[in-house]
Amino acid sequence: MAHVGDVRLTVDGKTRELPIERATVGNDGLSIATLLRDTGLVTIDPGFVNTASCSSAITYIDGDDGILRYRGYPIDQLAGQSTFLEVAHLLIHGSLPSADLLNAIENRVARHMQVHDGIKAFLEAFPRDAHPMAVLSGAISALAAFYPDSTGRGEYEVELATVLLLAKTATVIAYLQRRSVGGDFIDPKKGGTDYVEEFLRLTFAPSDAPYEANPIIRRAMDLLLILHADHEQNCSTSTVRIVGSSHANIYASISAGVGALSGPLHGGANEAALRMFDEIKESGDSIEQFVAKVKDRSEGARLMGFGHRVYKSYDPRGAVVKGLADEVLVALGGNAELFDMAKRLEEIALSDDYFIERKLYPNVDFYTGLIYKAMGFPTGMFTPLFALGRVPGWIAHWREMVRDPQTKIGRPRQVYIGESERAYVPMEERP
Site residues for ligand CMC per CB under 6 A = 47, 234, 265-267, 269, 294, 302-309, 358, 360, 363-365
User: Which own/partner contact pairs does 317-320 have at CB distance under 8 Å and 24+ positions apart?
Assistant: 317/68, 317/75, 317/227, 317/228, 317/363, 317/364, 318/361, 318/362, 318/363, 318/364, 318/366, 318/367, 319/66, 320/75, 320/76, 320/79, 320/223, 320/227
Q: Using CA atoms, how far apart are residues 98 and 308, in angstroms rounded to an integer?
A: 35
Q: Which is nearer to ligand CMC, 11 or 265 (CB)?
A: 265
Catalytic residue among 230, 308, 315, 397: 308
Q: At closest approach, how far in Å is the CB of 318 from ligand CMC?
A: 8
Q: Minimal CA–CA distance to 320: which of 412, 404, 224, 179?
A: 224
Q: Which is nearer to ligand CMC, 115 or 235 (CB)?
A: 235
CB of 268 to ligand CMC, least distance (A): 8
Which residue sits closest to ligand CMC, CB atoms considered? 307
Q: Which amino acid is at 37?
A: R
- Phi/psi at 74 (nearest 5 deg)? -60, 140
Active site residue 365: yes
* CB closer to ligand CMC out of 61 and 92: 61
CA–CA separation, 269 and 379 (whole Å) = 11
Q: How far is the CB of 94 from ligand CMC (least distance, A)?
A: 24
CA distance 383 to 228: 11
- For residue 103, the minimal CB distance to ligand CMC (Å) is 32
Closer CB to ligand CMC, residue 68 or residue 166?
68
CA dihedral 271, 276, 277, 278 (to 10 degrees): 90
84/355 with CB nearer ligand CMC: 355
- CA 274 to CA 270: how far, in whole Å? 7
Burial of 324: CB neighbours in 10 Å, binned 0-12, 13-18, 19+: buried
Q: Choosing from 62, 230, 315, 365, which is the catalytic residue?
A: 365
Among the residues of 115-193, which ranges form H helices? 117-124, 132-146, 155-180
Least separation in angstroms between residue 215's CB and ligand CMC is 27
Nearer to ligand CMC, 188 or 257 (CB): 257
DSSP 283-300: H---HHHHHHHHHH-TT-
- Choose between 105 and 140: whose C-beta lies nearer to ligand CMC: 140
- Pair 273, 365: CB distance under 8 Å: yes
250-261 and 382-403 are packed helices; what angle lies between their axes, rounded to 10 degrees? 140
CB of 345 to ligand CMC, least distance (A): 11
Bridging pattern class, strands 59-62 and 67-70: antiparallel
What's the min distance (Å) between Cβ of 416 and ligand CMC? 24
**Residue type at 38 in one-letter notation:** D
Residue 343 and residue 338: Cα distance in Å, rounded? 9
Give the nearest distance from C-beta 302 to ligand CMC in angstroms. Answer: 4
* Residue 21: strand pairing partners: 29
Q: Closer to ligand CMC by CB, 196 or 269: give it.
A: 269
Point out the residues that are catalytic: 308, 365
